[in-house]
A = this chain, B = another copy of it.
Amino acid sequence: MVKRRKTPVIVETTEPHLCSTDLRLTILHSVPFFAGLPHEAIAGINQLFHEKGYDAGETIYVAGDPARSLMIIAEGRVKLLRHTSIGKDILLDLLIPGEFFGTLSTAAESEYQDTAVAMTSICALAIEYEKFRSILLEYPAVSMKVLDTVSGRLAAAHATIQRLSSQTAEQRIAATLLRLADKLGEKHEVGLLIQTPLSRDELADMTGATPETASRVISQFQKDGLIETGRQWIAITDSQGLRTLAE
């Protein structure tokens, strides 16, 4: 059998609560929303945000909490999920630095729709949604970017619905691995490593399967030489093969 290796996943473990002013400005410049704005504008916008730090595993907010703010990830990874009555979690999205989460809307929906959990220790820039809306009103170009981002997420959600409705667990898992590799992948000696701690449970929660099914499929992929895996990590060695499976 293949001898498993120690986890190759390297997570940047900046102390939470530490985003230097320089880092903040760099982050805000690199966020798609604000890219292209003049420096002074971004410096002004920077004043409206405040920092928040969370430890790995910490819950940032829970679905149903009163929705007050929007957050932009400066460092770390956040997962967005929903709990179900039967105890199964649904992992809706996995976010990286530069992406936002929280609420965008007016008081219309005053509760968070889903739960946000820090997968690693994270540093985030938070802003009250009233202030964020004032930014949108002041800079229409930012509004356009935000609209594009949300439209993109809607398209992604529709693709997920399509997969859940028409594909097998194997196809969905293959497609999910490819998507994750595309977003989080890094070249590594064992292959294209998905740079985030990723358990079978989480993979199951992303694909609408059970952990057991995820494990079986992953084992098969490994036997077929498509991937390398270990505890909490997966690396893709044959993305073309996976792509064929995913159809």
Contacts and interface: CB of A to CB of B under 8 A. Distances in A.
Nearest to A148: B105
Interface string A113-154: 110000000000000000001001100110110111011111
A161 B91 CA distance: 10
Given A143-B136, A143-B143, A147-B147, A162 B90 contact: yes
B136 A137 contact: no
A212 to B, nearest CB: 15
Given A109-B155, A151-B150, A155-B113, A92 B143 contact: no
Interface in A79-133: 82, 84-86, 88, 90, 92, 104-106, 108-109, 113-114, 133
Contact of A164 (B92, B113, B165): B165
A38 to B, nearest CB: 18
Interface residues of A, number: 40
B247 A164 contact: no
Given A92-B158, A114-B158, A147-B146, A208 B165 contact: yes
B92 A166 contact: no
A226 B237 CA distance: 52
A150 B154 contact: yes
B108 A158 contact: no
A7 to B, nearest CB: 27
Given A140-B140, A151-B104, A154-B150, A90 B133 contact: no
Contact of A154 (B85, B140, B153): B153
A202 to B, nearest CB: 13
10 contacts: A92-B161, A105-B148, A106-B144, A108-B148, A109-B155, A133-B144, A147-B150, A157-B158, A157-B160, A161-B161
